[in-house]
Amino acid sequence: MLRASGVQWDLRKVDHYECYDELDWQIQWQRDGDSLARYLVRIGEMKESVRIVQQALKVIPGGPYENSEARRLNQGKNSEWNDFEYQFIGKKPSPTFKLPKQEHYVRVEATKGELGIFPMGDDSAFPWRWKIRPPGFINLQILPQLVKGMKLADIMTILGSIDITMGEVDR
């Protein structure tokens, strides 16, 4: 929504996280702020994502890797990998860490905008409070201004260009 309104803002460039600084890619943006601009930004982002993935595949380090599931499938039905003790061999446990007694806010660039995660720790492995700020909820707040003065038939196009997910906006 923001990039289709003339603002060149992308958290991957602003916050310099992961390896995005090492890859060659451009922020996709348009000036007009209408449904066509949002569509063109979305198409441009898909093309740019393909470029990012192609570059990332070239810099993945080589070396041995473990694929227990492929090994099990290659040995057939009578493999020892089908026994009960090997049933969950591919499932790796998640790391457990304690959240300090403070507030945290982490933001990442999601497919529809900024995804914010706000945990409040209490010195345990489980947060005292956990709030997720989805981008669809924020994008939908501008809907009254977008449909003002528009024809009824245009509302579906506008809603489609916002690309809301009802699970995000049911608050």
- Using one digit for the tens of pLDDT, what is the confidence trace for 67-124? 766 766 777 777 776 666 665 555 556 667 788 899 999 999 988 889 999 999 998 8
What is the share, in percent, of the chain residues with pLDDT greater than 70? 86
CA-CA distance, 48 to 40, in Å (whole number)?
12
Mean pLDDT of all residues in 51-56: 95
Mean pLDDT of all residues in 4-15: 94
Global pTM exceeds 0.85: no
φ/ψ region of 18 (left if φ > 0, alpha if ψ in -120 to 50, else beta) reads left
Which sequence spans correspond to the domains of the chain? 1-60, 66-92
What is the share, in percent, of the chain residues with pLDDT greater than 90? 53
